[in-house]
A and B are shown apart, each in its own frame.
Chain A
Amino acid sequence: MELLSFGDTGWGDELFLATLMTIAVSIAAMAIGFLFALIFTPLKLSKNKSLNIIGNCYTTIIRGVPELLVIYLLFFGGTGAAMYVASIFGYDGYIEINAFITGALAIGIISGAYSTEVFRGAILSIDKGQFEASKVLGIKKNIQFYKIILPQMLRLSIPNLSNIWQITLKDTSLISVTGLVEIMRQSYIAAGSTRDPLFFYSVAAVLYLMLTFLSMKLINKLETKYSKGY
């Protein structure tokens, strides 16, 4: 227990900050994932063949490739790519991309692929009559999407999104390989300097369990709130 005290002698405060970092990365990744999903869901549903192929490629490739690979590609390749782009604009210095941004982007791309599938499923399960009814009533496509489709889509996708949130939360542990100090990295450091890996990895496991448990509770509340009318 002494090892977990706050202050200079214990690892409590470090682990607490690391937990906050994990939460921050997860939320950032989830938000980036939503952005990707909002771009790629229409592509997957579109009637245009070539747009369709782009959407399918994104979800198939990302879901068929290890998460670690995406992270390594962005981490090792991202710097080179950024420096190449900068050299076109005449800047030849070294550019280092922040580990937080790389990590959130990598996990975001992954969770985006899963979110795209969820949104697509949700839109497809909305009754066709609703689209037709709103068309008959002369509602514009724009408003039809925001006022009729989107609210239903969100409600239908909450259970699946909660799964994706759990997966995203666990995936952030992989960012530790790039050096971002979140739960996993902090326990790695602590385990290394105290030579007590069993204890610190157990603490990490408990922290992750706590995070998944708490988010489950929150999401369940959200779910009951949004399914009130049903």
Chain B
Amino acid sequence: MISIFPSLLSGAVITLQLLVSSMFFGLIIGLIFAILRINKNPIINKFAYGYSYFFRGTPLLVQLYLIYYGLANIELLRNSFFWVIIKEPYWCAIIAFSLNTGAYTSEILRSAFQTIKKGYIEAAQSLGVTKKITFYRIQLPIAVKQSLPAYGNEIILMLKGTSLASVITIMDLMGEARKVNVLTFKPFEAFITAGVIYLFITFIIHNIIKYLEKKYGFQT
């Protein structure tokens, strides 16, 4: 029991790395696509909608396989500079997770943008505030505050999603648990210990979000 702990913890570090980097890139992608979604141009709008529809409508596993196995199939990519990134399963996982969480994040932010009261924007306009400053100083902070609870859920969903990285040979927490199971034939010890570590990470994320909500969220 104690002997399997170090290897699982080293896996947990990889899991956290995957989570943090994909959440970081995902947030940027999500923000860009949320802004595209509220754009009035129908082509840009439809493009952003299509992106989020595809990534929310298909399983994460399909996306991961498409990027890990599928992209390597394209001759052009294989000969280009991108091959350095795509040949590594670690980067493939981060790309897939970022694109996936980016789609969900864009939906969360979009609905937050759309629930902002029109009066705020009109008030800013009548005070002569430029459009740019209205966006950065008024719309964005409100949207971020409003989407905190939903975003917390998304982080936890992504934490669970990172376990799929084990399918493409990455030794994250799930991968280590599988290795322990194969080596010791003790599925219950391996997977339940891993489950406890996952629960612990979930618990910490949940509490951080709760704290942030209390500090920055809207008091209701």
Contacts and interface: CB of A to CB of B under 8 A. Distances in A.
Interface of A: 60-61, 64-69, 72-73, 76-77, 80, 166, 170-171, 173-174, 176-177, 184, 187-188, 191, 196-198, 201-202, 204-205, 208-209, 212-213
Chain B CB within 10 Å, residue with most, of A80, A191, A196, A205: A205
Given A68-B163, A201-B69, A77 B58 contact: no
Nearest to B201: A64
A209 B191 contact: no
A198 B195 contact: no
A69 B61 contact: no
26 contacts: A61-B195, A64-B198, A65-B160, A65-B198, A66-B159, A66-B198, A67-B160, A68-B174, A69-B191, A76-B187, A77-B187, A170-B58, A174-B61, A174-B164, A184-B65, A188-B65, A197-B66, A198-B70, A198-B71, A201-B65, A201-B66, A202-B66, A202-B70, A205-B66, A208-B58, A208-B62
A188 B70 CA distance: 11
Interface residues of B, number: 40
B139 interface: no
B188 A77 contact: yes
Contacts of B60: 170
Chain B CB within 10 Å, residue with most, of A77, A176, A184, A201: A201
A76 B182 CA distance: 10
Nearest to B196: A65
B134 interface: no
A214 B160 CA distance: 27
B166 interface: yes
Contacts of A67: 160, 163
Contact of A198 (B63, B73, B198): B73
A61 B196 CA distance: 9
Contact of A80 (B70, B73, B187, B203): B187
B198 A69 contact: yes
Contacts of B72: 197
A69 B193 CA distance: 11
Nearest to A210: B57
Contacts of B202: 64-65
B74 interface: yes
Contacts of B159: 66
Contacts of B198: 64-66, 69
A171 to B, nearest CB: 7
Interface in B60-84: 60-63, 65-66, 69-74
Contact of A64 (B62, B66, B187, B203): B203
Contacts of B148: none
Interface string B166-196: 1100000010011001000001100110110
Interface in B28-68: 53-54, 57-63, 65-66
A149 to B, nearest CB: 28
